[in-house]
């Protein structure tokens, strides 16, 4: 009798993931965006939510939970049930925060399951037109001649703007002062006003200002030139060999999700990344769709966490 009961329980346990995957999703999917509305993180979350809802996969809603460098939203998802009904949009700060914060309420690698690498875009290094530099070597020379006197803007500690410059400073052995802002818009406004001298920012954010003469483009952060500004060299080819920063976007979920659910989510998002209107929306934001299996994004996250850990350690950047 006990043997039969044990066998029945074992069979149910073996069959449960498959049965659960077939009934998934059983309720609306919450897509947590740990940033305010407006930026591409939010665009990605809303694009996925709309396509899930309209395409018959299941109802989905976006939940913006900004704050603390994206750690508030990440913590919420880390502590959610691993049933596929709570997802998290992640970007560069997700990897940087693993070492930037001395104490996190979650473990970046252990508490999340990678779903998909959604897209990427380079940053562009731009300066105020009054700064007498037109290339990376000229900027490096000026910074070394005036250590600690030049300043740069960012959208906060751990942002791609911040870490792009910290990596640049580390590799060029320069001293440039960090001035954090609460978003790209105020940072760019102050840059155009001459209150700060430079920034690494998403190419689509600064390109209109470069074309309008309000900023001067110097270089892009990817190893390949950007199709949005092919006339600008990369930082790598401008005398800083090996410099490579991509602003990336992806989706993760709480660790412990059934493999079948991870596979379903990955397949659904891969499909929507191929849709013409989705690709147009990405490209309008200067973002190249990526896609691929969960393992690809998991490997990317490991590389990014290790890369930025070295920069954080070398520069002494910390958030308590």
Mean pLDDT across the chain? 92
Q: Considering Cα of 283, then 284, then 285, then 286, what sign does the dihedral take?
A: positive
Q: Considering Cα of 271, then 259, then 42, then 60, what sign does the dihedral take?
A: positive
Q: Are 203 and 229 in contact (CB under 8 A)?
A: yes
Over residues 211-257, the pLDDT tens digits come to 999 999 999 999 999 988 999 999 999 999 999 999 999 999 999 99
Does the domain at residues 122-238 carry the CATH identifier 3.40.50.300?
A: no
pTM: 0.86
Q: Distance between terminal CA atoms of the chain?
A: 58
Report which secondary-structure segment, H or E, holds 288. strand 288-289
Which position has the higher pLDDT, 56 or 199?
199
Architecture of domain 24-119+249-315: 3-Layer(aba) Sandwich (3.40)
Residue 19 banded pLDDT, cuts 50, 70, 90: low
Cα→Cα distances 277→29, 47, 265, 273, 280, Å: 22, 10, 20, 9, 5
Q: Are 246 and 121 in contact (CB under 8 A)?
A: yes
Residues of the chain with CATH 3.40.190.10: 122-238
Nearest to 86 by CA among 98, 102, 74, 97: 74
Strands (E), 24-111: 29-33, 60-64, 86-91
Residues of the chain with CATH 3.40.190.150: 24-119+249-315
Quote the percentage of the chain above a pLDDT of 70: 93
């Amino acid at each position: 009798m006990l043997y039969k009961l044990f066998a029945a329980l074992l069979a149910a346990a073996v069959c449960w993931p498959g049965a659960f995957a077939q009934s998934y999703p059983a309720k609306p999917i919450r897509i947590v965006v740990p940033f305010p509305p407006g930026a591409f993180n939010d665009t990605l979350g809303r694009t996925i939510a709309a396509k899930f809802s309209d395409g018959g996969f299941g109802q989905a809603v976006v939940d913006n939970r900004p704050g603390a460098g994206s750690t508030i939203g990440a913590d919420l998802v880390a502590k959610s049930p691993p049933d596929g009904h709570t997802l998290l949009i992640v970007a560069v700060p997700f990897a940087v925060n693993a070492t930037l914060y001395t104490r996190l309420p979650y473990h970046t690698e252990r508490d999340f399951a990678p779903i998909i690498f959604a897209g990427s875009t380079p940053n562009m290094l731009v300066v105020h037109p009054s700064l007498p530099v037109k290339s990376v070597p000229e900027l490096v020379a000026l910074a070394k001649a005036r250590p600690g006197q030049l300043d740069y803007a960012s959208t906060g500690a751990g942002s791609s703007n911040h870490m792009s410059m910290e990596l640049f400073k580390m590799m060029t052995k320069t001293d440039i002062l960090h001035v954090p802002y609460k978003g790209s818009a105020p940072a760019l406004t102050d840059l155009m006003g001459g209150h700060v001298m430079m920034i690494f920012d998403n190419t689509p954010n600064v390109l209109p200002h470069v074309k309008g003469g309000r900023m001067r483009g110097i270089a892009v952060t990817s190893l390949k030139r950007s199709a949005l500004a092919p006339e600008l060299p990369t930082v790598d080819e401008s005398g800083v060999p090996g410099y490579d920063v991509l602003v990336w976007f992806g989706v993760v979920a709480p660790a412990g999700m059934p493999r079948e659910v991870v596979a379903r989510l990955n397949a659904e998002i891969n499909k929507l990344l191929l849709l013409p209107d989705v690709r147009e929306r990405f490209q309008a934001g200067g973002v190249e769709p990526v896609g691929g299996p969960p393992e690809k994004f998991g490997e990317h996250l490991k590389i990014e966490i290790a890369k930025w850990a070295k920069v954080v350690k070398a520069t002494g950047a910390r958030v308590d």
